[in-house]
Structure 1
């Protein structure tokens, strides 16, 4: 409910329109608009006040923040310095098309077709002027068609070089991982990158594109990426990019510094480990499949000891001793050399996995009863022994269960098939023993167990980057709306550049004591609008910024600015 509220300041009355509502059962002010002194209110009533005839609000804060960080790198300048501009091409330049695509990815990712309409509702002309109508999908296609793979490689190298100047690596440990992005590209569309393979999101029937990413452990800033064919196995990708990885890792460190690369079990092939062993002062930490390391995974829990980690300390403070992460350390010969081996056990993970395992086991049991019924009735398509065995194994694969967890017997009795099954309790027990356990293998001997385990756990830094690229609102690398490999590469670069700039923003905020994600910061800053006021008396327009809320104010101050009387000041 709205009402007029009077305040006395220095003995003079000032009036506000206040809106009240009950919040948690108590009346609170939910909105307040300043009207002014009695004289000003009288002028408004008589139509004499110099009020705007109309106003226009535009999204300001998020783009201002994106532009502020990007100015330190100068992406448009990098591109235009590498790709010569055609005579009479004018603006926007090729670099500008990359720049405005990156801004869009950082704030509210949309298609190139929708981009002009999105920019119309922003204050981009106040921040970094551009002919918005030129930012259409056809112009993007024509401009990006001039970018070769060699051009993009040079652009990427210069971009990361400038990022390294601003934020050099703070660690000698790097995280490497791969993922893939499905597309809706038709089978007949010519593309070497988009291929059918094992989708990490289970969409194996769609063509997909792979991405390898290297990030710094402490700052979590991307330092290298590589797109690759969607049907290429992770281990092959690692071998293909190993030379580049070692070069990038070494670039910002002294030659005698020991470097460590952390990756998962999908890449620990003989060739890859040999490539690392051949490099001086380069070490690795990798996970190892509990399926192949069944003996290690079956290690009795009385050999495990709790780790001295920060998370365990907090659990002890909360009297949760049964939830402590534990580890068992030993050595063993792997990939032709003696290595350090650590088996970890997480009780919470084990409990979750046990619950999931029992649910899947019940599903398999229901399927077996259904199979038994169909076989005993002689149902059509259930009369061939090989076909029945195949269906059972396929169902086990769907449920991610080993096929020997049940003993299945198909026999012939009186000329008809009989189907019987029973649990293999030995195999079930061995399977349960592996739950909650993880095997780590490294060539590092002088690190404490806690250091090795924490380095492996920190691989979430690169996984978090992949999650952000798959966010539907921000970055949104998929769906990939480009249909040629050259445009796909340009699109991937804009997404990685957006991810990097967002991480730079997050680092600055954290150093200022604001422990929020870049996504939270951008969502908050999107609500800070620029207001364009049309003043009929003065026959002019006036631009003013909204009053920032507490979080917006902190973000703006972190980047060395403030809003005073609607004006942004450095």
Structure 2
């Protein structure tokens, strides 16, 4: 039976709960709980009587990303880079680097405007991690902090960060994927101050808005972004590649001790004659429409090529003089591409046939008007050589139309053109399979752009900035946030065996929550606040510990 017992130690009275029992037939006691002094017992009683308010915030994702940023001293790198401009500016308790890191974490977890940052931050553990008050971080706070970052320092900050990531992760950089995209903005046409936003062909279909271009280089194996450049929205891919190539290749060579092992992989949009002249260590594609004779030869000699994945493709290999240099040429057949092109041709043919039926064989129009309409109908891709027509006019002036399709041309397209992709490289020592796999790895850059346009994670929009300097800093924060997320996903896969994508990883980590317990005693002064991590399952707990997603509760 339990009982309360008083005892003294060093002249101080303490209390404890004990219970009696017999040991070897002799009575003895065991201590159930030490209650301490009288004051301690009173305090314990008062705590039990005090009401407690409980709320919870998301902690896992922001803690993991914050830990990564601290591991690579991201805020410190930014602050040290801009310090020569007159010292590090501190606003609302945060340096410029810390403010940018907070914005990067927000961009990775929940893309939104700077004005909406405070509302989001209040629902997370980030203010406790970084030591700021959420309501203090207004849009003006971020604009003031971003304004302190010179554009010409961004490349050096990015280079230093990527170099450290390559060293810590022990990356073996070999094949690098290069690609470009654009992002539309809502900057008014009457605002002539920024030069980056310009009108051009928008890949998201918003041709009515001004846009900015983004060039990105990623490592094919890890999909980690290595370097980027923001440029004018009206600049073509070919001009962008030419301006981007020399400085970027120099920066990329500094990332590895074996620069000759680096191979740049890019698509046909940048492979002009001028860009390929003098270029070394690359894999790219050529436009099939400019090399029909080569496709005629290659289509008859396609042979099976086994890939490292166990799959098999049909390909042909040879050599040709490209841009004044003899290069290795690989023509590879893609059933998926062939199927898509055949389907697109069938849709174009069906649409043209409907228009021809509406026109009729005896249209009530002039001879020249009939020819113009027929040429417009044949203006779709491949139809100019596939659809043939003859227009006559009889003695009464009636127009008569005869239309037919070139069956031989259709067979040529289906058997010796569709589904074929031309690849070239100066890596003569590579096998055909290596060349094909290197080019297919270029999709890593395309995947990065899909993430950077994902409205649920990492999206570059919204970007409510109206000067070139702010737009450059905004793009830097978006790409750096993508680097942190990609690195976090890589570690989750390697250390915890995680198999989901990065979007799912962030969502699962965000479900790890911290409870805020506020004790209301009725006394003067601030109430006591305690934090406690909610219970999580064992599997998620192991992954969270590996990624540092469990905040240190003090």
Q: TM-score, normalised by structure 2?
A: 0.83
1:516 maps onto 2:500 in alignment: yes
Displacement of 1:81: 1.7
Displacement of 1:177: 1.0
Q: Which residue matches 1:532?
A: 516
1:127 maps onto 2:164 in alignment: no
**Pairs within 5 Å for 1:175-214:** 175-190=177-192, 191-214=194-217
**Pairs within 5 Å for 1:102-501:** 102-190=104-192, 191-254=194-257, 257-276=260-279, 282-299=280-297, 303-313=301-311, 324-372=312-360, 376-378=363-365, 384=369, 387-388=372-373, 391-392=376-377, 396=380, 400-413=381-394, 414-433=396-415, 434-501=417-484
1:372 and 1:420 in contact (8 A); partners too: no
2:174 and 2:262 in contact (8 A); partners too: yes
**Distance across 2 between alignment mates of 1:365 and 1:496:** 47
Displacement of 1:117: 0.8
**Distance across 2 between alignment mates of 1:168 and 1:547:** 35
Q: Which residue matches 1:54?
A: 53
Displacement of 1:383: 7.1
Displacement of 1:407: 1.4
**Distance across 2 between alignment mates of 1:325 and 1:210:** 34
1:561 and 1:568 in contact (8 A); partners too: no
Q: Give a deviation string over 1:105-155, Cα, whole Å, max 9, x none.
A: 111111111111111111222222213223222222233233332233333
Displacement of 1:299: 4.4
> After alignment, is 303-312 or 472-481 more displaced?
303-312
Displacement of 1:535: 3.1
**Could you say if the C-alpha distance between residues 301 and 157 of structure 1 is closer, same or farther in structure 2, counting changes exceeding 3 Å?**
closer
**Could you say if the C-alpha distance between residues 168 and 462 of structure 1 is closer, same or farther in structure 2, counting changes exceeding 3 Å?**
farther
**Could you say if the C-alpha distance between residues 411 and 478 of structure 1 is closer, same or farther in structure 2, counting changes exceeding 3 Å?**
farther
**Distance across 1 between alignment mates of 2:245 and 2:90:** 42
Aligned to 1:343, the other structure's residue is in SS state: strand
Displacement of 1:548: 1.8
Q: Which residue matches 1:24?
A: none
**Distance across 1 between alignment mates of 2:350 and 2:506:** 45
Aligned to 2:514, the other structure's residue is in SS state: strand
2:212 and 2:232 in contact (8 A); partners too: yes
2:59 and 2:550 in contact (8 A); partners too: no
Aligned to 1:205, the other structure's residue is in SS state: coil
Q: Give a deviation string over 1:205-255, Cα, whole Å, max 9, x none.
A: 321111111112222211111111111111111110111222123113336
**Distance across 2 between alignment mates of 1:404 and 1:304:** 25
Q: TM-score, normalised by structure 1?
A: 0.80
**Distance across 2 between alignment mates of 1:568 and 1:423:** 75
**Distance across 2 between alignment mates of 1:416 and 1:85:** 84
Aligned equivalent of 2:98, options 86, 96, 104: 96
2:364 and 2:398 in contact (8 A); partners too: no
Query: Which entry has the higher C-alpha Rg, 1 or 2?
Result: 2
**Could you say if the C-alpha distance between residues 62 and 48 of structure 1 is closer, same or farther in structure 2, counting changes exceeding 3 Å?**
closer
Q: Give a deviation string over 1:153-176, Cα, whole Å, max 9, x none.
A: 333333333333333541322111
**Could you say if the C-alpha distance between residues 90 and 545 of structure 1 is closer, same or farther in structure 2, counting changes exceeding 3 Å?**
closer
**Distance across 1 between alignment mates of 2:310 and 2:420:** 17
2:295 and 2:420 in contact (8 A); partners too: yes
**Could you say if the C-alpha distance between residues 554 and 289 of structure 1 is closer, same or farther in structure 2, counting changes exceeding 3 Å?**
farther
**Could you say if the C-alpha distance between residues 450 and 568 of structure 1 is closer, same or farther in structure 2, counting changes exceeding 3 Å?**
farther
Over the aligned positions, Cα root-mean-square deviation in angstroms equals 2.8
